[in-house]
Amino acid sequence: MNTSASSVGSSSPFDFFSFDFTTPQPRQDADLLQQLSFVPGLKEILMLRQVHALEHATVWVLSEVKNTHSPTGRPSKIQIDDELLGGLSTDQGFYLYGEVNISDLRRAVTLALHRLTHGEWDLAVHPRCGTNLSVAMLLTASLAVGVNLMLPFRPIEQLIGLGLAATTASELAPDLGAIAQKYLTTAIPFNLAVENITISRDMWGRQGHFVKVNWRE
């Protein structure tokens, strides 16, 4: 039951502090936007997070389909990643790069949206997401600075410390990146509706399919 949506009409602008941000709820983003409508760019940020999740889920679904249709493919509950597919999210929709039939893409987007909004929230997280790289870089830099300040300023100790920092960051980054995706850079697309899918080019001139979406309450 979505308790965050209760008494919206008479609630104060600061009722968003009572929202449960750990468990996806269908009206969470819509209610947040209603409460904080005065914040510039909030709708675009909320849309971008939801589009980002839909992009990831679409790649997972397409990867599953490819694995199922391959000569040695067997049905499995393990998520299979097609590394030839990639995406770029915007607040209007997402680009998908890689060889894919547009009819297959339409079916994959529809299925991805359905599965995401019906409980398969893990599809919103992807190991090749740029969030993971950003987390890894930030973590490595932070650990490197910490090591530099704690160890003696001698070359041997500093090199050993930097090596330990890089190793530790590489071990922690995947899990921390997944957490960052789950709670910061993606959101379950309860408020998205697919408008159309076209062959298009991004700002760098790369050709791909563009999945355009719109916001619905």
How many other β-carbons are positioned within 10 Å of the β-carbon of residue 79?
Answer: 14
- Quote the tokens at residue 7: 């008494």
How many other β-carbons are positioned within 10 Å of the β-carbon of residue 155?
Answer: 8
Radius of gyration of the chain (CA): 20
In this structure, of 70-74, 180-184, 197-201, 209-213, the range with the lowest mean pLDDT score is: 70-74
* Residue 42: pLDDT over 60: yes
Helix axes 42-69, 102-117, angle to 10 degrees: 120
Q: In the predicted model, what is the mean pLDDT of the chain?
A: 84
pTM score, whole prediction: 0.81
pLDDT of 67 reads 67
pLDDT tens-digit profile of 152-163?
Answer: 777 787 888 788
pLDDT of 45 reads 97
| DSSP labels, 98-130 | SS--HHHHHHHHHHHHHHHHTT-GGGG--TT-H
Cβ-count burial of 204 within 10 angstroms (0-12 exposed, 13-18 middle, 19+ buried)?
Answer: exposed
pLDDT tens-digit profile of 50-89?
Answer: 999 999 999 999 999 876 655 544 444 556 666 789 999 9
- pLDDT range class, residue 171, cuts 50, 70, 90: very high
Task: Specify which residues 212 forms β-bridges with.
Answer: 93, 196
* Residue 22: pLDDT over 90: no
